[in-house]
Structure 1
Amino acid sequence: MITKFTVGNRDGSSAWDVSELTNNVKWVTDLNFAAGTLTFDVIKTDELFYPKSGDLVEFEWDGFKVFYGYVFKVGYSQDKKFSITAYDKLRYFKNQDSLVWPVSTVSQRFETVAKMAEVSYKVVNSSDYKLPAEVADGKTYFDMLKTAIDATQKATQQMFYLFANYDTVELRKAPYNQLELIVGDQSLMTGFSFDKSIEDAANIVRIIRKDQEESQSVASTSTDEASAEKTSEDPEKTSFSYTDSKGSNVGQWGKLQTTENAKDKANDAQIKQRADELLVEKNRETYSLRLNAIGDLSLVAGNSVHLQISDLHDVGFVIESAAILKATHNFGPNYNCELEMKVNEPWLENSSSS
């Protein structure tokens, strides 16, 4: 049950208790570089409650501190109801800036942008991996950290993410908490959906080098004409060379080809290595698992759970554990949550299900 729900001035000088006036309370956490969101409706009463942009929202459930954030959107309808959207402090990581990053770790870059966003922060898990110097021009703090997190994960196989732990933004490593909870047929789960796809897969990677005898740029007094000349290419002076990497499942899936342009100074060995690396990345099925479950506050993005789903097992797919990518909590008398899971390749009971 709701044990605290207030909306008030940002400096804390005054606040309205809306715990008895609210419904449709929904809390979302997401690993995909997005702020945590709390949406809710408040019934208007005779009290002078008029939520303002930037108002502080604090929400607790069963004494657990769930959400601390600020009002960003307010709607009002003819049935005398406010519909409010609040974001946690990660919302300020959408701020844009231009920075020159020195050689530094993702932990150091997180600390820098958190200070620039003027939010309270904590490095829960740090990284020693040194990222190369780079220029970030007109990018959001989210985008800057995504670049750093992706590069760190590729180099170290460690996945970092951002999470607003009530009023403090944290840098964590996933899975943050490997819960002992079992979500499945006899425990918490009320429904599921699973699918696999090769829509974005590629089993042939082609690295292309373009050779031109001379520059195709032609001087002109007209900007439009010059642009057209620069983008046009003479077929007689242009040729391509190809380096391919091919998967073993072309016969099963058909030919699914993707291309990438070779780097200017890459030699043949480096081009082949890049093709092989890209094939490993692209030549795979993707899996999606969504769960409906009885509400539990530990089921948030970044944590992982054990799974026991007999219906999946019966058709050949065994997924013993998975991390939570996105969690939507619907508070109320029938408190429940919807979970999007990160599924690695399931173990297959039999090859006919692959």
Structure 2
Amino acid sequence: MITTFTCKKRNSSKVWDIRELAYNVKWETTTNFAAGTLTFNLLEVQEGFVIRNGDVICLKWNKKKIFYGYVFKYEYSSDETFSVTAYDALRYFKNQDSLVMPISTVSQRFEKVAKMAGVKFKTVATSSEKLKAEVCDNKSYFDMLSGAIAKTKRATNKHFYLYANYNVVELRKFPYKQLKLVIGDKSLMESFNLSRSIENTANVVRIIKDSKKKKGRSSATAQSSPSSIKKLGRLTYIEKAKEKANPAQIKARAKQLLKQKSKEENTLKVTAVGHTDLVAGNACIIKSQSLKEVGLGTKSLLITKSTHHFNDRDYTVDLELNV
């Protein structure tokens, strides 16, 4: 049950307890470079309290810290209720800036932009991979870090992400927690939906480079096995090479893109009994006979998005998992 749900002005010590006034409480986390979101409805109260943008919202479930953030939007309707949207501290990573990033690691860049964003932060996972110096002109902190994280992943196969642990923004590595929780037919699972798609799949990748001096163009092509092309048809993706790329780099880029794009896109959505550890970046075990029959046996899967619904004592969570 919700044990703490409060609202306060940033410059005031007065704290309002809104546990009995709030309903339709929903908390969302994602690994896709976005702030954690808390939305809820709030009955109007007298006693001089009115919610305002910038107010600090704190939520705890069974005394466990869940959300610490700030009101960014509210609506007030004729039935005298507020609809409130609050974001955690990651919202300030949407701030734009122009920075020169020296040769540095992704963890060093995280610490730099976190200081610029003015938030509390902690580097939970570090990388020793040095990234090239870069000029980040008029980019959000999210954009600056997403590029650094992608480059680090390509070089080391280690995938980092950002997470707001209550009021502290953390740099973490997938998976942060390998949960022992089993979500299945006989435990926690309420429903599921599995999607398999080749909408964005490519089994032929061509990198093209225009030559200004020779007024022509060169290219490199990578393709999947003949059996894959026969099975799916010819699915071609074309990309222009960087101006300074040499033939070896163009060929390597074609192979790299083919590896990324030749896969079928699989998305599993699950609705389960709520648990506070089922958040984006953690991994849980999925076990279902119906899923096994369509080729998805018992597996530990990474949670890419979670939406928690707190409703009195009824607590459920919607999960999106990387298959």
Q: TM-score, normalised by structure 1?
A: 0.87
Tell me how far apart the structure 1 counterparts of residues 212 and 100 of structure 2 sit (CA, whole Å): 34
Residue 194 of structure 1 pairs with residue 174 of structure 2? no
For 2:242, what is the secondary structure of its paired residue?
A: coil
Residue 253 of structure 1 pairs with residue 232 of structure 2? yes
Contact 2:219 2:250 survives alignment (8 Å): no
Q: For the structure 1 residues 70 and 270, does the alpha-carbon distance in structure 2 shift closer, same or farther, using more than 3 Å as the test?
A: closer
Residue 314 of structure 1 pairs with residue 293 of structure 2? yes
Alignment of 1:1-354 (within 5 A): 1-212=1-212, 238-248=215-225, 249-332=228-311, 333-343=313-323
Overall identity of the aligned pairs, in %: 52
Opposite residue 323 of structure 1, the aligned amino acid is: L
Unmatched segments (≥5 aa) in structure 2: none
Q: For the structure 1 residues 245 and 17, does the alpha-carbon distance in structure 2 shift closer, same or farther, using more than 3 Å as the test?
A: same
What is aligned with 1:227? none
- TM-superposed CA distance for 1:14, in Å, is 0.8
Tell me how far apart the structure 2 counterparts of residues 110 and 281 of structure 1 sit (CA, whole Å): 26
Contact 2:206 2:221 survives alignment (8 Å): yes
Tell me how far apart the structure 2 counterparts of residues 115 and 169 of structure 1 sit (CA, whole Å): 11
Opposite residue 13 of structure 2, the aligned amino acid is: S
For 1:108, what is the secondary structure of its paired residue?
A: helix
Larger Cα-atom Rg:
1
Opposite residue 260 of structure 1, the aligned amino acid is: E
For 2:205, what is the secondary structure of its paired residue?
A: strand
Opposite residue 127 of structure 1, the aligned amino acid is: S
Point out 4+ residue stretches in structure 1 off by more than 4 angstroms: none
Opposite residue 243 of structure 1, the aligned amino acid is: A
Tell me how far apart the structure 2 counterparts of residues 55 and 13 of structure 1 sit (CA, whole Å): 12
Q: For the structure 1 residues 263 and 17, does the alpha-carbon distance in structure 2 shift closer, same or farther, using more than 3 Å as the test?
A: closer
- TM-superposed CA distance for 1:262, in Å, is 3.0
Opposite residue 200 of structure 1, the aligned amino acid is: N
Q: TM-score, normalised by structure 2?
A: 0.95
- TM-superposed CA distance for 1:342, in Å, is 1.3
Tell me how far apart the structure 1 counterparts of residues 303 and 118 of structure 2 sit (CA, whole Å): 28
What is the number of residues matched between the two proteins? 320
Q: Deviations over 1:229-258 (max 9, x none)?
A: xxxxxxxxx543332212111111111111
Tell me how far apart the structure 1 counterparts of residues 212 and 4 of structure 2 sit (CA, whole Å): 68
